[in-house]
Amino acid sequence: MGGWIKLYRDIKDHWIWEKDNRFKWWIDILLTVNHKDTKILIGNKLIECKRGQSVMSLETWAKRWNVTKKTVKDFFELLQKDSMLVHENLQISTRITVCNYDRYQSEVNDQETDSKRLVNGQETDATPKQERKERKRSIKNEKKYIAPLIENVISYFSENGYTEEAAKRAFQYYESGDWKDSQGKQVKNWKGKMIAVWFKPENKIKEERSQNYRGYLDGKE
């Protein structure tokens, strides 16, 4: 059987919560009564059974709960004294009416629940797409550019015949700007940037200086 009922937390403060099987019986009543108006045929008699009502004999309830008919009747009377339920003798059966039934199941809440299910279903469909986007963003962040050390820049300049002074200037320029170029874009290929911007004739190691340096090394030998 589908459907649902509402239960407020303050039920735990109610006398019915602590009394043997009575709480179980009360829940059974709430789950059994109609959630909409209908009519029931018993024998040749058509009986109205409205929302929040149930038409069953005391004997049927007794078998359901595995107790005596007197126990069922006493329980119904106890609920009636506490304005929780009204029971009527219909000669061929017993009709009970749960008082304030909307407290346990509201038609408005039924509609809201259906709407929420629809929305939640749409959200569930969208979730994989969102997860994929977040995963891509996470991978992208993991691939963030790692700036070179000054030693790397000097070594690269030297290998290509450019001065240490130029290498230091280039390094300081980009390091101070968090390795972003003049347009504010992240320098992802620092070697390519050095070739395009800093590998200029004026930054070349002078041939004379190079020859003197080689002579100095020869003299040491």
pLDDT at 157: 94
Q: Is residue 167 part of a domain?
A: yes
CATH number for the domain harbouring residue 80: 1.10.10
Q: Is residue 22 part of a domain?
A: yes
Least confident of 80-84, 133-137, 182-186: 133-137
Q: Identify whether residues 154 and 93 lie together within a single domain.
A: no
Tell me how far apart the alpha carbons of residues 71 and 149 are, in angstroms, rounded to a whole number: 87
pLDDT at 142: 47
Residue 34 backbone dihedrals phi, psi, to 5 degrees: -65, 145
Q: Identify whether residues 99 and 164 lie together within a single domain.
A: no
Q: Tell me which residue range forms the domain holding 162.
A: 150-208
pLDDT at 129: 63
Q: Identify whether residues 40 and 96 lie together within a single domain.
A: yes
State pTM to two decimals: 0.47
Q: Identify whether residues 97 and 31 lie together within a single domain.
A: yes
- Tally of domains in the chain: 2
Q: State the pLDDT confidence band at 101, using cuts at 50, 70 and 90.
A: confident
* Domain end among 87, 103, 119: 103
Q: Identify whether residues 17 and 99 lie together within a single domain.
A: yes
Question: Is a pLDDT exceeding 90 seen at residue 158?
Answer: yes
Q: Is residue 16 part of a domain?
A: yes
Q: Is residue 185 part of a domain?
A: yes
Q: In this structure, which amino acid lies at residue 61?
A: W
* Domain end among 71, 103, 135: 103
Q: Identify whether residues 90 and 157 lie together within a single domain.
A: no
Q: Identify whether residues 29 and 95 lie together within a single domain.
A: yes
pLDDT at 74: 93
Q: Is 39 helix (H, G, I), strand (E, B) or coil?
A: strand
Q: Identify whether residues 34 and 89 lie together within a single domain.
A: yes
Return the higher-pLDDT residue of 6 and 89.
89
Helix pair angle (58-65, 69-81), 10° resolution: 100
Q: Is residue 27 part of a domain?
A: yes
Q: Is residue 48 part of a domain?
A: yes
pLDDT at 13: 82
DSSP per-residue letters across 142-200: HT---PPPHHHHHHHHHHTTB-HHHHHHHHHHHHHTTSB-TTS-B-S-HHHHIIIII--
Question: pLDDT digit string (tens) for 32-88?
Answer: 998 889 888 888 888 889 998 999 999 999 999 999 999 999 999 999 998 899 999
Question: pLDDT digit string (tens) for 102-126?
Answer: 888 776 555 554 455 545 555 445 4
pLDDT at 211: 55
Q: Is 24 helix (H, G, I), strand (E, B) or coil?
A: helix
Q: Identify whether residues 98 and 157 lie together within a single domain.
A: no
